[in-house]
């Protein structure tokens, strides 16, 4: 196996006496889309800014293609492109001028013309930045992050503020970037985005990695990986439902029952219904989503344990 293209070990960053990043560790393999999820203020952006070399860690190590983003910063900028959480350009700068300006920063930049074509900006080359739509601005920032032919690109909250269509167009662009051989480190708070795009995800909460797995793996470890809803033909005893294996929760509203559990819960429920001769009207069985897993993993209620197994 080749070495990780990004490796973070024991990363710690303190502000005002408080550790906003406290012992974060993960490795990103070449060619994958690696997601970083977490609540607001969890330390996501600080972590990736240390990867980009924009912040100096107080402890721990960060390596990008084996390089230290701080000590080897000029070399890292030649292998890593970044779209920051908050990015702006001069309002009167045209798309062409922005691409030519950024290309001038590199010894061997990508040809901005096919890059603009690939990102749907070819017909906007003379358009000023202030006149671009939100989706067009995001595509331009992706182009600027790729203009240096990087091996790694960091995208921080890329689709915030975009409408659903623009967001999905941007997702396809990210997949195209990965398919071209570029490794993507993606920071997002959109669960649907992470579930669709990411090969693996690190969930950060209160400055620490509380889970690291594939989207399916994160969903599978939640207390309620399956949701079952139905309306019984006759009432069921609460004690019968409570006895179902691996049941995480049970609610009833207007005669309709919703259960959160696992496949074992489904099997036992069907057996119970058959034994009681109960018909389950409008029975629906759906998988939990990454949103469910995220809420479970970042639940800070007293007595809750991060990533508690089902």
Which secondary-structure segment (H or E) carries 50?
A: helix 44-52
Neighbouring residues of 199: CB distance < 8 A, sequence distance ≥ 6: 32, 33, 34, 214
Domain 6-220 has CATH 3.30.420.40: no
Residues in the chain predicted with pLDDT less than 70, given as ranges, are 223-224, 299-310
Pair of tokens at residue 67:
């390089």
- CATH number (3.10.400.10, 3.30.70.980, 3.20.20.140, 3.40.1350.10) of 223-287 reads 3.30.70.980
Distance CA 152, CA 27 (A): 13
- pLDDT for position 115: 86
- pLDDT for position 300: 53
Residues 199-236 as b or e (16 or more Cβ within 10 Å = b): ebbbbbbbbbbbbbbebeebbbbbbbbbbbbbebeeeb
Residues 91, 127: contact at Cβ < 8 Å?
Answer: no
Q: Give the model confidence (pLDDT) of 149-176 as tens digits.
A: 999 999 988 777 777 887 888 888 889 8
Q: Specify which residues 128 forms β-bridges with.
A: 94
How many Å separate Cα 66 from the centre of its chain? Answer: 24
Which secondary-structure segment (H or E) carries 12?
A: strand 6-15
Pair of tokens at residue 11:
């990363």
Pair of tokens at residue 19:
């550790």
Fold equal for 6-220 and 223-287: no
SS3 letters for 255-277? CEEEEEECHHHHHHHHHHHHHHC
Residue 117 has φ and ψ, to the nearest 5°, of -65, -45
User: How many CB atoms sit inside 10 A of residue 154's CB?
Assistant: 25
Q: Specify which residues 13 forms β-bridges with.
A: 21
Coil, strand or helix: which one is 52? helix
* DSSP character string of 87-116: ----TT-BHHHHHHHHHTTSSSPPPHHHHH
Residues 184, 155: contact at Cβ < 8 Å?
Answer: yes
Q: Where are the domains of the chain?
A: 6-220, 223-287
Q: Specify which residues 229 forms β-bridges with.
A: 258, 284
Residue with tokens 């398919």: 179
3-state percent helix, strand, coil for the chain, nearest multiple of 5: 35, 30, 40
């Amino acid at each position: 196996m080749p070495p990780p293209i990004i490796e973070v070990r024991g990363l710690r960053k303190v502000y005002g006496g408080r550790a906003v990043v406290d012992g974060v560790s993960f490795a990103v393999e070449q060619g994958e889309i690696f997601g970083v999820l977490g609540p607001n203020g969890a330390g996501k952006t600080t972590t990736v800014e240390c990867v980009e070399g924009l912040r100096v860690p107080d402890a721990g190590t960060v390596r990008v293609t084996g390089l230290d983003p701080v000590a080897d910063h000029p070399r890292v900028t030649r292998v890593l492109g970044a779209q920051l959480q908050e990015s702006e350009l001069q309002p009167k700068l045209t798309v062409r001028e922005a691409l030519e300006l950024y290309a001038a920063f590199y010894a061997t930049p990508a040809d901005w013309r096919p890059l603009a074509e690939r990102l749907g900006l070819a017909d906007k080359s003379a358009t000023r930045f202030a006149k671009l739509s939100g989706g067009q601005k995001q595509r331009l920032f992706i182009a600027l992050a790729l203009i240096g032919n990087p091996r790694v690109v960091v995208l921080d909250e890329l689709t915030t503020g975009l409408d659903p269509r623009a967001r999905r167009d941007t997702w396809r662009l990210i997949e195209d970037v990965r398919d071209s051989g570029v490794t993507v480190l993606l920071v997002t708070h959109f669960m649907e985005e992470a579930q669709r795009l990411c090969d693996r995800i690190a969930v950060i909460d209160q400055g620490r990695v509380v889970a690291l797995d594939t989207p399916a793996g994160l969903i599978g470890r939640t207390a309620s990986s399956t949701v079952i809803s139905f309306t019984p033909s006759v009432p069921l005893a609460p004690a019968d439902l409570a006895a179902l294996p691996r049941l995480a929760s049970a609610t009833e509203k207007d005669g309709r029952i919703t259960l959160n559990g696992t496949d074992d819960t489904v099997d036992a429920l069907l057996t119970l219904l058959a034994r009681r001769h109960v018909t389950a009207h409008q029975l629906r069985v759906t998988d939990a989503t990454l949103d469910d897993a995220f809420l479970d993993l970042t639940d800070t209620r007293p007595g809750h344990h991060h990533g508690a197994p089902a």
